[in-house]
Amino acid sequence: MAIYALLDFDTLKKNDISIEEFIKTAKGLKAKILQYRDKNSSFEEKLKRIKKVRKLWKKTLIINDEIELLPFADGIHIGQEDLENLCKKYNLTKFEIIKNLKNGNLNPQFSTLNSQFIVGLSTHNKEEILEANKLPLDYIGLGAYRPTNTKNTNNILGKKVIDLIKYSYHPVAIIGGIKIYDKIPANFKVVGSDICKLMYSRLRKKEIFKKKLKNL
């Protein structure tokens, strides 16, 4: 089971952690994938940051929801509601939306990309997993495993995820409140806040050590 690092900008800001520090820690934990999520910044700010992340992170980079940022990443992760909204916006079926996302065809400015993108979809129950099986996805996110402060989680699955994983035809990434050392029989575990907690603890220890040195 590999680590899929979730770089949630609001969480980094709250804990006074830089993008550079987060990515350095993700590399140290041997994360295979990094997702950039930013729900509140302007598009211009997001664009500036995703370019920065791309320079620092050479492995698989996923963006959350924002299809306009797709040219700067290797793929996109969307939620159930986001998928429904895209279907309404473009008047396409879920299958067609996923297929067009993979080909980078939802936006005219992508027409010259000639790239295949990774597409992941959040799922929360057996019904959504079975529906996801019919879509040309690269993986599904399944959760929430625990309550998390980064988003509203009304559906906490806990150990139920272990039984639900077997229904998926796609690789599974467990999402929601995952800790670095959780052992779950899935392809990936999406760790975000717990990486920040680890970093915050390390930074605090460094600060305390520096203060002690000054007082010697």
Per-domain residue ranges of the chain = 2-215
Sign of the C-alpha dihedral, residues 163, 166, 169, 172?
Answer: positive
pLDDT-derived band at 176 (thresholds 50, 70, 90) equals: very high
Sign of the C-alpha dihedral, residues 108, 72, 65, 127?
Answer: positive
52-65 burial code (b ≥16 CB/10 A, e <16): ebeeebeeebbbbb
pLDDT-derived band at 199 (thresholds 50, 70, 90) equals: confident
Checking DSSP bridges between strand 2-8 and strand 188-191, what pairing results, if any? parallel
Q: What is the pLDDT of residue 200?
A: 77
Q: What is the pLDDT of residue 136?
A: 97
Cβ proximity of 123 and 146 under 8 Å = no
* Averaged pLDDT, 24-41: 96
74-106, pLDDT tens digit by residue?
A: 999 999 999 999 999 999 999 999 999 998 887
Domain 2-215 has CATH 1.10.3720.10: no
Sign of the C-alpha dihedral, residues 53, 70, 82, 134?
Answer: negative
CB within 8 Å of 13: residues ≥ 6 apart: none
* Averaged pLDDT, 34-49: 96
Q: What is the pLDDT of residue 114?
A: 60
| Alpha carbon distance, N-terminus to C-terminus of the chain | 45
